[in-house]
Structure 1
């Protein structure tokens, strides 16, 4: 039975080394087999690789673990497996290359990887999951350290050839060899003329020739970057791999963490019988009862330090033995299960009785990129930009528009489980319901959040006296009633379908939803109505549903240049005379015509705007209304000032009106 795999990209907790507005990202994959995800009682197993490797190295181990546990009691079966790329390794290295080079000349510490894994384990996505951590070599230390910021989220930990020790042991047994490891790694070949050349080299040369063929195949497929000239190169460059060896403090800190948690969390250790890197005296320091380090089990397997690559079948059986030892009665770990005084960090006390997922992380919580979007109006403008950005950041998208052919080029770049393009007329309630139904059936909604960017709309320039009533009703059918019905469907979907329940509804208004200039009456009226519905709806929602609403009020941005969806009605004769060129609706017409034209003056940067939209979608408490752009902010401020003046006048006129 094959593994089913879904790729994700997670934003990592902010680190002091990060420049303003940027953080590292961590690539990950979730694996399932058959109907395993339907087993809510099953185990979620998290995997961290060794230095120089990548998340896909675990696939043979993961597959055999799924199969071996499949016939066992439900609570000992594997529900899902997660494998993570260190921020300087695998796909993460490609995502972070520029940022790592600019901000981390000494490489990415295992402490940062541990923070990211720990934030993931304590994120809402893993709420209620029965998790087991598995790490190999440096990845073993990262898994142990992922418990450091808070109470432990794991039922058990499996450490394979862990390089965890005291400073004294390191400097006595290993320090002399570290410069040799660094030099050899730096001199290692990092590219080949073709995949075929790389494959031949891996079959002949150490360490690859010792590997299980399945692991070697995955290294060829996932550890190498395909270059434009047909050559291939290591995703984790020799330089980045070499920088990981002198990163010693995580190896020492992990030993203290083991002493803290080992009485409450079973720790299973797997050693290689012919380990080249961790000799027996180093192994002995890990399990030292006199130092408070109690190990649940120790096993020895045929192979060297790279035992995950050399002997994945035996490694899988060792992991299964650890899973079998978890008592079926054990549920989710709680802080008090660790014993001792309540944990405290960042000014937040971990009080008895509070589950680990309720405890605040000292860094901002890890943000998941596994969101699915419904995007009405994706054919142009902000909707198209939002679809492109969401896909580029790893989200899934249901793009809806009247003419799906417009997105043929974009659709060709993504599989249907990432991008689903549907025909949708927002004036037809049946189309809206069908779009949500298709999203439910076609996108990977299990354990993901579904959000809606409610964007479909059109514009209209006309004086009130010159407005065609039918055209005004047509605009309201799109800008108000269409958005209104999408909003209603969104709330029902987020409440009844999303897992976990909740989500964000982003209603696209405009700076003209803040204040109505002359000549924009009908467009502004529809936006005013949408804002009123947004305000009322947000107050009607049960907080337990965890549904948020944000109204977006942008000014003019580059996405509006050349747009043809704005209807410009002939000016009413009463307002069309030479002396009115700088007054009323004529001024508005001239300004908007310039802004919508291909030669528009300097206006807002749409890429930055969409980046702000996307950032808002990741906030735990998004704002209810946001104005974007200098023009929108100026209009917002003018409206506030006018309201203050009206308030003062009202005070004078309203006094003494009470009986």
Structure 2
């Protein structure tokens, strides 16, 4: 590889799920901060949209072992140290637990848990060499499981545990692990999740449709409100930037008033009372 001149960023950052929303905003912010960003996208069209100064798109489906291995080869072949891996790629599969096919449960966990673990495993050697950091994009769904969010919250709760375990394993070797916990954010993930939910609702039995009609109406109203009142993705990108730059990053960064309130309530409020508060929040 050619020598790096003084105008070239001296450190790499990997951002998965960078096609839109939080991932794209994070890639742009970290490039502006002075890093060379390897931005994971799933299509050539997305790569063309994301490409920018110091933002290098890489084709990356985190459930594809060959593409994850190719990313690790790209990092290993670069003389610059890997400062951080930002695990943002994810999907939202939402439906009542009774009515959600197991294949959809597996798809949710394959992307939001197993795919992220695959990226961490592949890039950990580089992070250990550079004493870098892992930044996992979490959610209030990983703190409070609302009705119809069972699969999504299950995966996000799982990543909370993975993040805690990983932090306790690798911090003695100089690798930090932080979780970003945003509240409602205006992103394409919410739109795609709504479309997925509508598809799943159409596959319910007549009895399930009757049983969960009120819940699915409340779910749609709740997610649509996020598109209107949610945070801009750039606010989350700011928190990621702080986690990447901090000499000793916090274990968690809560972003947004709703995230702060819901996270605190889980420690202060009995389960039955929290159940009522969640249902009231959704208009049930």
Q: Aligned partners of 1:551 and 1:464: how far apart in 2?
A: 26
Indicate yes or no: 2:180 matched with 1:557. no
Q: Matched residues in 2 for 1:536 and 1:4: separation?
A: 36
Distance 2:191 2:219 in 1: 17
Q: Counterparts of 1:139-538 in structure 2 under 5 Å?
A: 370-411=10-51, 413-414=52-53, 418-441=54-77, 443-445=78-80, 448-496=81-129, 498=130, 502-538=131-167
Residue 459 of structure 1 aligns to a residue whose secondary structure is coil
* 1:88-124 residue CA offsets vs partner (Å, 9 max, x unmatched): xxxxxxxxxxxxxxxxxxxxxxxxxxxxxxxxxxxxx
1:5 aligns with 2:5: yes
Q: Is the 8 A contact 1:576 1:586 kept in 2?
A: no
The superposition leaves residues 334-390 of structure 1 with CA deviations (integer Å, 9 ceiling, x where unpaired) of xxxxxxxxxxxxxxxxxxxxxxxxxxxxxxxxxxx7431111111111111111111
**1:641 aligned onto 2:274:** no
Paired positions, count: 267
Structure-2 change in CA distance of 1:628 and 1:540 (3 Å):
same
Residues of 2 paired with 1:613 and 1:386: CA distance? 7
Cα gap change, 1:384 to 1:634, in 2 (>3 Å): same
Matched-pair contact (CA < 8 Å) for 2:85–2:135: yes
The aligned counterpart of 1:630 is 257
Q: Which has the higher helix share?
A: 2
| CA offset digits 1:567-603 (Å, max 9, x no partner) | 212075556559974xx554233211342xxxx3222
8 A contact 2:75–2:82 mirrored in 1: no
The TM-score, its normalising length taken from structure 2, stands at 0.84
The secondary structure found in structure 2 opposite 1:493 is: helix
More strand by share: 1
CA contact 1:508–1:553 (8 Å) conserved in 2: yes
Change over 3 Å in CA distance of 1:643–1:372 after alignment to 2: farther
* RMSD value, Cα: 2.7
Deviation by residue 1:28-67 (Cα, 9 ceiling, x = unmatched): xxxxxxxxxxxxxxxxxxxxxxxxxxxxxxxxxxxxxxxx
**Contact 1:490 1:505 (8 Å CA) reproduced:** no
Q: For residues 463 and 542 of structure 1, what CA distance do their matches in structure 2 show?
A: 38
Quickly say closer, same or farther: Cα 1:579–1:608, change in 2 above 3 A.
closer
> How far apart in 1 are the matches of 2:3 and 2:107?
50
Q: Distance in 2 between matches of 1:527 and 1:578?
A: 26
Deviation readout 1:612-633 (Å, 9 max, x if unpaired): 2102211111111222112212
Corresponding residue for residue 540 of structure 1 = 169
- Does the 8 Å contact 1:379/1:401 carry over to 2? yes
The equivalent residue for 1:153 is none
TM-score, length-scaled by structure 1: 0.38
Choose between structure 1 and 2 for higher RCO, CA contacts under 8 A separated by at least 6 residues: 2
TM-fit CA distance, 1:459: 0.4
Q: 1:410 to 1:456 in 2, by over 3 A?
A: closer
CA distance in structure 1 between the aligned counterparts of 2:164 and 2:46, rounded to whole angstroms: 33
CA contact (8 A) 2:75 2:126 kept: no
Aligned to 1:278: none
Partner of 1:615: 242
1:131-157 deviation digits (Å, cap 9, x = unpaired): xxxxxxxxxxxxxxxxxxxxxxxxxxx
State the distance in 2 between where 1:538 and 1:642 align. 28
- TM-superposition CA deviations, 1:500-525 (whole Å, max 9, x none): xx111011111101110000100111
**Partner of residue 280, structure 2:** none
